[in-house]
A and B are shown apart, each in its own frame.
Chain A
Amino acid sequence: DAKTTQPPSMDCAEGRAANLPCNHSTISGNEYVYWYRQIHSQGPQYIIHGLKNNETNEMASLIITEDRKSSTLILPHATLRDTAVYYCIVRVKTNFGNEKLTFGTGTRLTIIP
């Protein structure tokens, strides 16, 4: 799986959009970009994933650059409950195995009241 680079920490004011960047310059054509977050002492929680098109769900939006070498996770209206460590992961999605996720150290996002 390709390696990702994320800033170690970020702050965002409550109610503002939080934009979390991720570099994945060695991503392969068949690798997806996944985002998970981990609130203190809980298991990681899936947020969103994409291949090359921008994606949006009820939690967030994912913007992937045209060359796919970087992406940005956007939390449109951050709340205090969004304070967590956010992990950007790239991986191949298979139909029968290889459920290995390679987590880095992630970005610790702190939402400021």
Chain B
Amino acid sequence: DAGVTQSPTHLIKTRGQQVTLRCSPISGHKSVSWYQQVLGQGPQFIFQYYEKEERGRGNFPDRFSARQFPNYSSELNVNALLLGDSALYLCASSLVGTGVNTGELFFGEGSRLTVL
């Protein structure tokens, strides 16, 4: 079975540009979360979407937005990129709401964004 898939795997942008990152959850998972991991630190929570509704938001500026589609895939958008947005962006899905939720998050391999 396919795990959580993310695209693109690597990308380079310049300051002020906008970026869209994509995530496909594991089949049957309805919840998708996004995390930012800056080099040398643990992942930081950005958003969670469940059944296409935002269920949680971390301490990130409004330049960060996300959405979830009817097929439960998700996009993370970041506008007006700053140098400090350079990071590994991780997507995770889970079985929350399915009745067999163990609380485990399944992470993708991430999208590495470099802002120049």
Contacts and interface: CB of A to CB of B under 8 A. Distances in A.
Contact of A94 (B33, B41, B96, B105): B96
Given A96-B97, A99-B33, A105 B56 contact: no
B56 A104 contact: no
Interface residues of A, number: 27
Nearest to B48: A99
A68 interface: no
Nearest to B102: A49
Interface residues of B, number: 31
A97 B109 contact: no
Contacts of A100: 33, 45, 48, 56, 58
B108 A43 contact: yes
A100 B45 CA distance: 6
B58 A93 contact: no
B48 A103 contact: no
Contacts of B42: 85, 87, 103-106
Interface string A77-97: 000000001010001011111
Interface in A9-65: 32, 34, 36, 41-46, 49
7 contacts: A34-B104, A46-B104, A93-B102, A97-B50, A101-B35, A101-B105, A103-B44
Interface of A: 32, 34, 36, 41-46, 49, 85, 87, 91, 93-106
| In the A-B complex, the 6 residue pairs with the closest CB atoms | A103-B42, A43-B107, A97-B55, A93-B103, A46-B104, A100-B45
